[in-house]
Chains A and B, each alone.
Chain A
Amino acid sequence: MNNPQLINTNYSKIVQDGLWNNNPALAQVLGLCPLLAVSGTVINALALGVATMLVLVASNLAVSLLRQYIPNEIRIPIFVLIIAGFVTIVEHLMHAYLYNLYTVLGIFVPLIVTNCAIIGRAEGFASKHSPMPSIIDGISMGLGFTGVLVALGVMREILAQGTLFADANIMLGQWAKTVTIFEDYDGFLLAALPPGAFIGLGLLLALKNVIDQNMRKRQSSRLTVEVLDSNAVAVISQPD
């Protein structure tokens, strides 16, 4: 194994990138169409997130396995073919075994093909890395995307309907129950409508930026301290 990337693979960095630093929704800001349209309830968000993650992992793996055989000039059409193929497979499986969910998500399952976060990972990561890191990248990015979808779903569903996990039985079976957060809640319509999705995403982006800024500040102050310390050591250890 003389592939330098294999030696330098830093799994924890891949995971951190996918979940936070380079999160597809919050840092790359990709795949917003499903993100905004399907995050009205937690269950819809979770279902689309999982479907997207399945496609992402499968396409990352396929692209990575085939990366030596894909001619550079036609790599994009081949990525699109691979992604479209996996989306169609996921769509058939949902149609067959999760029929109600399939009807609820409607057009957004086939639209996973156009989620640029997926082709972005194929081009930016999987085509340059071996299968294992590509799978890890697919899972991390998929979880990062699903996480933002679900967070948005939680915000919007609580605000709009005063419930959580409405229609959970469609996805998870009869044991799953809707949790009512506010009894006799009149509903806050804005949260259910598209503007609510945009505002919610804006708030999440702002939150991420605040957290990142604080972390950077703490890191840089720690760095200064370390630099000062090492200077002090240097000064002390300097022979006169």
Chain B
Amino acid sequence: MKSGVISRSGLKLGLAGAIVIGLVTLVYHFTHDAIVESEYQALLLALNSIIPEESHDNDIVEDTRTLPASKELGLKKDSLIYRARKQGEIFAVAFPVTAPDGYSGPINLLLAIDLQGKILGVRVVSHLETPGLGDRIESRRSNWLQQFPGKSMENPSHEDWKVKKDGGVFDQFTGATITPRKVIKAIHKALMYAEAEPGVFFDE
């Protein structure tokens, strides 16, 4: 008798599961295109904020190549590198950089450099820094990231790629030195990597 109850309950549970899965699948099916479109628009907006829209003539979101995982970029997994072209020639790339040692977790950045290794723009993608202190690295909270465009590995010199407190040229925040320090370090490391291995970034 008892086993009959159990199997009947199991059957009903299975039925409930099947119905719910069916419903979710239906919603997934109907929202899938909109989700892909939103992701595309968000990425396009992010890329255009560091590589001006009018400077390239290709679809920068679709023009990608695999960027292998590397310690130099702080990337644990293979990622994508986005290429900006003018008349078919790559003149700049955007790629993820992670500062693995932020104050309370990894800080994920999107960095754009041109063929000469000059920074075009930096964007914070996600972080776990303290609200009100470290989160001022976000471009909507302060213009701290605005000091990077135009900089490169040689400008400023190697010793000056630090916050002012450590004798460098970059601003820090009152009450939050670790966050800017780690972001600067991550960007500097990425620039040195691009200088040493340009093929990783600019090969077709």
**Chain A's nearest CB lies how many Å from the CB of B107?**
15
Would A95 and B20 count as touching, CB distance under 8 A? no
Asked if B131 lies at the interface with its beta carbon under 8 angstroms from chain A, I say yes
**Residue B133 at the chain A interface, CB threshold 8 Å:** yes
A99 / chain B contacts, CB cutoff of 8 Å: 38-39, 41-42
Q: How far is the CA of A214 from the CA of B47 in the complex (A)?
A: 58
- Say whether B20 contacts A81, CB under 8 Å: yes
Give the most central of B20, B23, B28, B133: most A CB within 10 Å: B20
Decide if B130 is an interface residue (CB 8 Å cutoff).
yes
Question: Within 8 Å of chain B (Cβ to Cβ): is A234?
Answer: no
B1-56 at interface with A (beta carbon < 8 Å): 5, 8-9, 12-13, 16-17, 20-21, 23-24, 27-28, 31, 34-35, 38-39, 41-42
On whether the beta carbons of B132 and A85 are closer than 8 Å, the reply is no
Q: Which residues of A contact B23 (CB under 8 A)?
A: 85, 89
Select one of A81, A82, A96, A193 contacting B34, CB under 8 A.
A96
The answer on a CB contact under 8 Å between A93 and B27 is yes
**CB-based contact A78/B38 at 8 Å:** no
In the complex, the answer to whether B131 meets A81 with C-beta atoms within 8 Å is: no
Residues of A within 8 A of B133 (CB): 189
How many A residues have CB within 8 A of the partner chain? 28
State the Cβ distance, B3 to closest chain A Cβ, in Å.
Answer: 13
**Bound state CA distance, A9 and B24, in angstroms?**
33
Least CB distance from B99 to A in Å reads: 19
Closest residue of chain B to A40 (Cβ to Cβ) is B131
Query: Are B131 and A78 in contact (CB-based, < 8 A)?
Result: no
| Segment with Cβ contacts to B, from A25-33, A69-77, A142-150, A216-224 | A69-77
Please provide the chain B residues from 113 to 155 with a CB less than 8 Å away from any CB of chain A in the complex: 130-133
| Cα of A62 to Cα of B5 in the assembled complex, Å | 24
Known contacts A73-B9, A189-B132, A193-B130; decide if A92 and B20 are in contact (CB<8 Å): no
Q: Do A71 and B12 contact each other (CB < 8 Å), given the known contacts A84-B20, A99-B39?
A: yes
Once bound together, how far apart are the Cα atoms of A92 and B31, in whole Å? 7
Q: Contacting A77 at CB < 8 Å: which of B13, B28, B41? A: B13
Task: Please name all residues of chain A whose beta carbon is closer than 8 Å to the beta carbon of B38 when the two chains form the complex.
Answer: 95-97, 99
Whether A187 sits at the interface, judged by CB under 8 Å, is: yes
Tell me what chain A mostly uses at the interface: helix, strand, loop, or mixed.
helix
Question: With A73-B5, A73-B9, A77-B13 in contact, do A96 and B131 touch (Cβ < 8 Å)?
Answer: no
The answer to the question of A88 belonging to the interface, with a C-beta cut-off of 8 Å to chain B, is yes
Q: In the complex the two chains form, is A89's CB within 8 Å of B27's CB?
A: yes
Complex CA distance for A99 and B37, rounded to whole angstroms: 10
Do A81 and B132 touch (CB < 8 A)? no
Report if A160 contacts B (CB, 8 A): yes
CB < 8 Å: which of A73, A78, A85, A192 contacts B24?
A85
Determine if A161 is an interface residue (Cβ-Cβ < 8 Å). Answer: yes
* B132:A161 contact, CB within 8 angstroms: yes
Residues of B within 8 A of A40 (CB): 131
- Give complex CA distance A81, B18 in Å: 10
Residues of A within 8 A of B13 (CB): 74, 77-78, 81
Contact A71 B9 (CB under 8 A): yes
Smallest CB separation, A139 vs chain B (Å): 22
Q: Which residue of B lies closest to A188 (CB)?
A: B132
Docked Cα-Cα span, A81 to B28, in Å, equals 17
Residues of chain A within 8 A of B34, CB atoms compared: 96-97
A81 to B19, CA, bound (A): 10
Q: Are A95 and B130 in contact (CB under 8 A)?
A: no
Chain B hits for A73, CB < 8 A? 5, 9
Given the complex of chains A and B, what is the CA–CA distance between A160 and B155 in angstroms? 37
Whether the pair B131, A93 counts as a contact (CB closer than 8 A) is: no
- Of the A-B pairs whose beta carbons lie under 8 Å apart in the complex, a sample of 12, sorted by A's number, is A73-B5, A73-B9, A74-B9, A78-B13, A89-B23, A95-B38, A96-B31, A161-B132, A189-B130, A189-B131, A189-B132, A192-B132
The 8 closest A-B pairs by CB, nearest first: A96-B34, A85-B20, A99-B38, A96-B31, A192-B131, A92-B31, A96-B35, A89-B27
B interface with A by C-beta (< 8 Å): 5, 8-9, 12-13, 16-17, 20-21, 23-24, 27-28, 31, 34-35, 38-39, 41-42, 130-133
